[in-house]
Chain A
Amino acid sequence: MTCSHKPSWFLAVLCAFAAAVPALAHHSFAAEFDAKKCSEITGVLTSVDWQNPHAYIYVDVKSAAGAAESVTFQLSSISNLRRGGMERKNMIDNFGKAVTVRGCAAKNGEKNRYAASFIKFPDGKIYRLGQDVEGLFGTNN
């Protein structure tokens, strides 16, 4: 009697472990952004899309010609940003102010589109915004 139950008990435990493996559902940074083309971009923070699966911030950067271009930065999910201490309110409080963002350029050649890793606000505070691909503000390079 006990023996005939053994295989199903074993299977149940095995299945429970299998189900506990975290779902690796995130897509790849490397597919969309080039970790070798990272730089610091300074400009005026104008707006945010604080949403899932990716939040976005928009920064007006003065081009060489002097005109202001809007640069798009892709961030992590809302919960991941929260883990780094970054909330929507932090961004809104800094609208119209000069910020420095460390970002890696988009691969498809699209201009003014980056994946952000860190941001520095005027008060000097630094927050993580996305995947840390090269250390704090590129310190691993």
Chain B
Amino acid sequence: MYKTEIRGKLISGDKSLGQISQDILRPIDAKTPRWWYAAMTMSLALFGWGLYCKYITVSQGIGTWGVNNTVAWGWEIVNFVWWIGIGHAGTAFSIFLLILRQKWRTAINRAAEAMTVVAVLCASLFPLLHMGRPWLFFFIFPYPNTRGPLWVNFNSPLFWDFVAISAYMLISASFWYFGMVPDFATIRDTTKSKIKKAIYGFFAFGWVGSSKEWLRYEGLSFVLGGIAAVLVVSVHSIVSTDFAVSVEPGWHTTIFPPYFVVGAIFSGFAMVLTLVTLMRKLYKMEDFITDSHVDAVCRILVFISLIMGTAYITEIFMAWYSGSEYEMYTFFKNRITGEYALQFWGMFTFNAIIPQLFWFKKVRSKLWVVFIISLLINWGMWFERFNIVVTSLSRDYLPANWAEYHPTWVEIGFFTGTIGMFAAGVLLFFRYIPMIAISEIKSVSKYDKPMPEPKIEHHD
């Protein structure tokens, strides 16, 4: 049972159910704020620049990137894994906290799920366009064909990757959308604009809120949640096999699947924190996203950060324990003291050390500090992926092949383009979709009310 005295209020302001609906829907009905237009323009500009870089990539070839015959995967894979990791949060949030009966998730899960969908979309661009011949991407589908039939290589982690990501994308998008149906119905019923009524009415699927509908709704959530719970674990473990199945020192590591999943949740939660702090400030959602919410996410982060630190040290220990000179070189020379040491120490500091500040209540309660740390964690997780992908590749078995890798403006533009795309997606979400799951948060509206005294009947 949630103890308000210990963990703080889930909704402050002593709101009635009607008020809750009103408060959450206010931004959708209100006039679009100026800052939104400014932010949207910037995001679209970044996105447009990204599109131009993609055009260069597709029209001229990935030679326009900095990758080479030694480091054949660069920023594009770093960013892919990074976005996928971020895209982990939504579903992980909803599912794990659901399973763990953490009711405080209700204020945040919608935003987290929205983020997931946009992040996975951003992520999926990278593996598609990093192909030498992206127009033949369908070769990776296992479809019956006239070439033999020629099937894909079921042994290849890249194929598993494709299956895992597309399944994850499908399920998390459905999960997010179906969760919104009752809220769309609420907008439909409360809005005065005819256009909005029509549009939200369409997306609400004629929801009326009958008991039967709620029963089905719960059933569907349960089924999708069940599938998604598996996918949350599978998706990043499979992404990790892209590396773990190889022979590269620094990639060929059995710790990778859990390490990647935890890392993904770590970056995802950090991104959630970034978003909800913004949301809370920009839309004055302090009543719903209370200090206790922020506090809870911070606590989770400090815990995961410890796991991350353990994983990093385990990796290094295993490199030494393996006795393999190539492994030892990769970890001790190349990562810790090598050319890319900055990225290693950035990763270690941002992911394993700085989040330890969350042990202090003072830090957790300062929103701007929390915001900055959440950004640092995201940065640190980017460094982690850089460490794995680029640092390992740049110096592996034969020293004659060792080469440096530097990104070009095209790859950097591609990446910033996805940031623009992500920001634009999130801004659209802020503007047109209830940021907080109204129907779900209503279920916790009574949590901070004093419990009615249980009637104890005495049978003497």
Task: Tell me whether A and B are bound partners.
Answer: no
